[in-house]
Amino acid sequence: MIISRTPFRISFAGGGTDLRSFYAEEPGQVLSVSIDKYIYVVVKRQIGIVEYKYRINWSRVEFCNKIEDIEHPIVREALKMMEIDFPIEVTTFSDIPGSTGLGSSSSFTVGLLHALYALKGKMVTKHKLATNAAHIEVNCLKRIMGKQDHFAASYGGINTFTFNEDETVVVEPVFYREEVPLNLEKNLLLFYTRLKRDASEILESQNRETPKKLDVLRQMKNLVIPLREILSSGNDLNKIGEILHEGWELKRSLTGDISSNKIDGYYQNAIKAGALGGKLLGAGGGGFLLLYVEPENQSKVIDALAELFCLDVKLDSAGTRITYYDQDRIDVKSSSVVLSQKQQ
């Protein structure tokens, strides 16, 4: 049995420039950070006599004997990619609900691939994990989405990612003084709006509008460098709030479905209560609202958003990890028998 643990992420600046519709014209760039909220993927080789070759536990349970019959799209494509032709069970657990703007599908894809590589006894780099995970979602499943989430989940930490026209991705970790992560954590509040949305619809709309919004997206990308410099120096971290605010105002202008009257109301109430800036995470439309708030104003902001759940969050520096590896249960020489329909 193998268990992988893969973090979710917060994107600070540049989101949207990791869509192919942008970086096909010029390089995109994003700065993001992984957080201490995780998705756990358990993969277990089934030994002995089993009724079905594939058992997939998600919002429901699937029993299949052919990979192509698996309805969970990511699991199906990952098992194909990894050529898993022996009986296996896949189960997931998550700290955070899906479709909430923290990159859950990408974290799941990275974590599943990581566990499958370990199950087959293969070492894999973080870059290859992210590249393969993005390939599954963007190319195999034809989802309109960026690639930043796969790389953030795989690498962990605070990084800038540059997305090039030739599909290569350059990963540059942000180097900072020891106290920077702790000081940053002290000023971040994460609120769950309880508004769930279909990210694909919002991203499809944004993708269509990209040619008309190149200047706006360039301005969003241009926030990455000053943000990186602030984090590297550790000086005047409060400027991060101003940059988040500027980026949010730009993002809201991309399409009409990124925000709503209710979300705008939450944000304005937070600003009035002392938040220096913030943004909706992910594609928009709902999910989590990130706010930069100095400690002395946090109780006022929490009171102003009393109807929302405030989630304590810290940074993750490790990225995806294998947290449990039971070699005795993954011996490739171990045999299993799948009962035929007649035998069942």
pLDDT band for position 344 (50/70/90)?
very low
What is the band of 120 on the pLDDT scale with cuts at 50, 70, 90? Answer: very high
Residues of the domain holding 263: 2-324
Instruction: Report pLDDT for 329.
Output: 54
pLDDT value for 272:
98
Read off the pLDDT band of 217 (50, 70, 90).
very high
Q: Find the range with the poorest average confidence among 49-53, 71-75, 124-128, 157-161.
A: 49-53
Please report whether residue 30 resides in a domain.
yes
d(CA 155, CA 174): 12
289 within 8 A of 309, measured Cβ to Cβ: no
Asked if the structure places residue 221 within a domain, the reply is: yes
Mean pLDDT value across residues 270-295: 93
What are the φ/ψ torsions at residue 249 (nearest 5 degrees)? -65, -40
pLDDT for res 327: 64
Q: How confident is the model at residue 343 (pLDDT cuts 50, 70, 90)?
A: very low
CA distance linking residue 4 with residue 303, whole number of Å:
37
- Out of 22-36, 38-52, 224-238, 290-304, least confident range: 38-52
Residue 198 lies in a domain: yes
Q: In the predicted model, what is the mean pLDDT of residues 328-333? A: 51
How many other C-beta atoms lie within 10 A of the C-beta of residue 95? 16
Q: Give me the number of domains the chain comprises.
A: 1
In-domain check, residue 329: no
Distance CA 203, CA 6 (A): 24
| Dist. CA 207–CA 209, nearest whole Å | 5
Taking 70 as the threshold, does the pLDDT of residue 290 lie above it?
yes
Rounded Cα–Cα distance for residues 101 and 99 (Å):
6
Structure confidence by residue, pLDDT tens digits, 164-215: 999 999 999 999 999 999 999 999 999 999 887 666 777 787 778 788 999 9
**pLDDT value at position 56?**
97
**Candidate from 141-145, 319-323, 334-338 with smallest mean pLDDT:** 334-338
Q: Determine, yes or no, domain membership for 332.
A: no
pLDDT at 338: 61
pLDDT at 226: 97
**Residue 286 — very low, low, confident or very high, per pLDDT cuts 50/70/90?**
confident
pLDDT given at position 282: 84
Span 234-245, average pLDDT: 96
Q: What distance separates the 2 farthest-apart alpha carbons in the chain?
A: 71
Digit-coded pLDDT (tens) for 49-104: 788 999 999 989 999 999 999 999 999 999 999 999 999 999 999 999 888 889 99
Asked if residue 297 belongs to a domain, the reply is: yes
- Average pLDDT, integer, range 233-250: 96
The mean pLDDT of 96-123, rounded to a whole number, is 94
Residue 342 has a pLDDT of 42
- Distance between CA 13 and CA 228 in Å, rounded? 10
Mean pLDDT value across the chain = 92
- For position 97, what pLDDT does the model report? 87
pTM value?
0.93
The reported pLDDT for the residue numbered 48 is 77
Task: Please check whether residue 187 is in contact with residue 292, taking contact to mean a CB–CB distance below 8 angstroms.
Answer: yes
- Asked, for residue 333, whether it belongs to a domain, the answer is no
What is the C-alpha to C-alpha distance for residues 319 and 300, in angstroms, rounded to an integer?
33
Pairing assessment for the beta strands 288-292 and 188-192 based on DSSP bridges: antiparallel
Please indicate whether residue 105 or residue 341 has the higher confidence score (pLDDT): 105
What is the SS3 string spanning the chain? CEEEEEEEEEEEECCCCCCHHHHCCCCEEEEEEEEEEEEEEEEEECCEEECCCEEEECCCEEEECCHHHCCCHHHHHHHHHCCCCCCEEEEEEECCCCCCCCCHHHHHHHHHHHHHHHHCCCCCCHHHHHHHHHHHHHHHCCCCCCCHHHHHHHHCCEEEEEECCCCCEEEEECCCCCCHHHHHHHCEEEEECCCCCCHHHHHHHHHHHHHHCHHHHHHHHCCHHHHHHHHHHCCCCCHHHHHHHHHHHHHHCCCCCCCCHHHHHHHHHHHHHCCCEEEECCCCCCCEEEEECCHHHHHHHHHHCCCCEEECCCECCCCCEEEEECHHHCCCCCCEEECCCCCC
CB proximity list for 156: less than 8 A, separation 6 or greater: 7, 34, 316, 317, 318, 319, 320
Q: What is the mean pLDDT of residues 266-295?
A: 94
User: How far separated are the first and last CA of the chain, in Å rounded?
Assistant: 26
Q: What is the CATH number of the domain that holds 67?
A: 3.30.230.120
